[in-house]
Structure 1
Amino acid sequence: MKALLLLSATVVTVVCSGPIQAAVPSHCNAEEVTLFSCQIEQSAKVVSLCASQPLSKASALAYRFGKPDSIELEFPKTAVNSIEKFRFAHYFRYQVDRKTLAFNIGHYHYMLFDYYEGEEAPPYGRGILVTDTRHSDKTVSLLCRDEVVAELPLLNDIVPCDAGNALANC
């Protein structure tokens, strides 16, 4: 009986410690919830989407990009009404689940994406697309490495719908 209790406690400890999330670098601090974070392929840079807790329409939302110890880009600059500066889209059907979060900085359109295509190999595609809106053919795709925190669906009823996105169900 003691061994069973010890085993149960060990399993609970492992589940609660979140070893997979601990392996994913993030720019979010301890007071924030990490909604999206990953290290970019072939780079030391990290992309993170962080929100103040508890998660609600009143939360502060922040996109951060850069090396683990040095944030190079943070959007928006202030937490006031920050959720209103983002747009969310979600599309789902059998074997397909696509979620995006978009925002603009000057002439650049940013779109975090978390795609699942069940009939593709690999089935997941996650990262960020950056498009120079003055030249729509100039898009840079920064793909995530395998370890990813991807909780974008939590934004579904919080962030305004991206009516201009074909994936959106506004």
Structure 2
Amino acid sequence: MFACHVGSKLVSLCRPAGDRGMLSYRFGGPDALELSYPEPGRQASAAFTVKSVPLIGGGETTVAFKRGAYTYTVYSKVARAADGSTPEFEDGVIVARRGKVISRLRCADGGEGFREPMGAVAVK
């Protein structure tokens, strides 16, 4: 559903084929998964939060989840560039601790945005 490179690591949101309600987040390098949510074999205690916000010349879609004191937000944004007509694309992940942003990782490869509509996604 979403994947991009952040340095030598990969951020991804995946779901099993045919299951629009199930979602999983993965972050890590090719040989070492650093974070998986929900953890393998467990269901998430709360749903992912999906938001779409229209912007002049584009919009932003976010998918977020909480894990302890941390909130992880995967985003895809399209907006007008400074020239007013050229579109700018930005994808990445934001990590906040108790509401304060501690890390903003932009996709090095520009990302491809969300590959399908996110409206029906929730983990229960």
Distance in 1, matches of 2:71 and 2:115, equals: 18
Q: Which amino acid aligns with 1:36?
A: F
Of the three residues 59, 65, 74, the one matched with 1:103 is: 65
1:39 equivalenced with 2:5 (yes/no): yes
**1:72: Cα distance to partner?**
1.1
Q: TM-score, normalised by structure 2?
A: 0.81
Compared with structure 1, are the counterparts of its residues 146 and 122 closer, same or farther at alpha carbon in structure 2 (3 Å cutoff)?
A: farther
User: Which structure 1 residue ranges, 5 or more long, are not aligned?
Assistant: 1-34, 161-170
Q: Which amino acid aligns with 1:150?
A: G
Q: Which residue of 2 aligns with 1:143?
A: 106
Q: Which has the higher contact order (CA 8 A, sep 6+)?
A: 2
Number of residue pairs the alignment of both structures matches: 120
**1:94: Cα distance to partner?**
4.0
Compared with structure 1, are the counterparts of its residues 129 and 66 closer, same or farther at alpha carbon in structure 2 (3 Å cutoff)?
A: same
CA contact (8 A) 2:56 2:79 kept: no
**1:56: Cα distance to partner?**
2.0
User: Which structure 2 residue ranges, 5 or more long, are not aligned?
Assistant: none
Q: Which amino acid aligns with 2:95?
A: V
**Aligned-pair RMSD on alpha carbons?**
2.5
**1:61: Cα distance to partner?**
1.1
| Larger strand share, 1 or 2 | 2
CA shift digits 1:47-71 (9 cap, x unpaired)? 11110011423xx311000002221
Compared with structure 1, are the counterparts of its residues 154 and 46 closer, same or farther at alpha carbon in structure 2 (3 Å cutoff)?
A: same
| Larger helix share, 1 or 2 | 1
CA contact (8 A) 2:57 2:80 kept: yes
CA contact (8 A) 1:129 1:140 kept: yes
Q: TM-score, normalised by structure 1?
A: 0.61
> Alignment identity in percent?
25
**1:139: Cα distance to partner?**
2.5
Compared with structure 1, are the counterparts of its residues 118 and 104 closer, same or farther at alpha carbon in structure 2 (3 Å cutoff)?
A: same
Larger radius of gyration: 1
